[in-house]
Amino acid sequence: MNDNISKFDLKAKILSNIEIAESHFQIQLACSEIAATARPGQFIHLLIDQRYEPLLRRPFTIYRAENGIIEIIFQVIGRGTRLLSQKRPGDEVRVMGPLGNSFVIPEKLDTAILIGGGIGIASLVMLAEELKRKKRCSIGLVGAQNCRQILCVDDLQAVGTEVYVSTDDGSCGYHGLVTELLRKILLNYASRITH
């Protein structure tokens, strides 16, 4: 649901840029206009540098937006994200957003199951916060290749989300894909309902 939210294109100052997991960084940007209008599930486009390369903006999901600050989490994959990981507090980037449709929370929803693998879990933290504000329960299934790349567990638990972890290599949590863990969780809940 878009809600006809205004989109902004402006400079934002980097407040912090820290490595939170193997090759994953969390950046805080001073960007009050976007923070005030962002909704769970939306994203921003960042122009990382004013030079010609990388030429195009990069999309990043909005991890959090409050008190005039937006946060993103990203994985270093190519040249653009490597440059972004090297930015320091005080540096500026060009930000466009909020973009995209937000998540819709059905009125009759009691419990939501939030599933994300790797960097995909970042888009679900704002949703978990919104579910808590609406007094709904949430279960979070967080997947990664290994323990060193698990993201967002503490933030999800802080808002009351019941969290389960899976890793491809079995180094922590369920050994397998997060989608396999979902199947196991659903079977467990189905047996509780029928007995």
DSSP state of 86: T
**Could you tell me the pLDDT band of residue 79, with boundaries at 50, 70 and 90?**
confident
Which 3 state secondary structure label does DSSP give 93?
A: strand
Tell me the whole-structure pTM to 2 decimals: 0.87
Identify the band that residue 85 occupies on the pLDDT scale cut at 50, 70 and 90: very high
> What are the sequence ranges of the domains in the chain?
8-99, 111-194
Among candidates 112, 164, 161, 157, which has minimal Cα distance to 143? 164
Task: Give me the pLDDT at residue 189, please.
Answer: 76
Predicted local distance difference test score (pLDDT) of residue 53: 64
Distance from C-alpha of 173 to C-alpha of 191, rounded to nearest angstrom: 22
Question: How confident is the model at residue 5, as a pLDDT?
Answer: 52
β-pair type (43-47, 137-144) = unpaired
CA 15 – CA 70 distance, rounded (Å): 10
Among 50, 54, 100, 49, residue whose Cα is nearest residue 77: 54
Residues 6+ apart with CB under 8 A from 83: 48, 49, 54
**pLDDT at site 188:** 84
Confidence of residue 6 (pLDDT cuts 50, 70, 90): low
Looking at 3.20.20.70, 3.40.50.80, 3.20.20.80, 2.40.390.10, the CATH number of the domain 111-194 comes to: 3.40.50.80
List, for residues 103-146, the tens digit of each pLDDT value. 999 999 999 999 999 999 999 999 999 999 999 999 999 999 99
Arithmetic mean of pLDDT, 36-61: 86
Q: Which two three-digit tokens encode residue 155?
A: 């933030």
144-165 pLDDT tens trace = 999 999 999 999 999 999 999 9
Task: Specify the CATH superfamily of domain 8-99.
Answer: Translation factors (2.40.30.10)
pLDDT at 83 over 80: yes
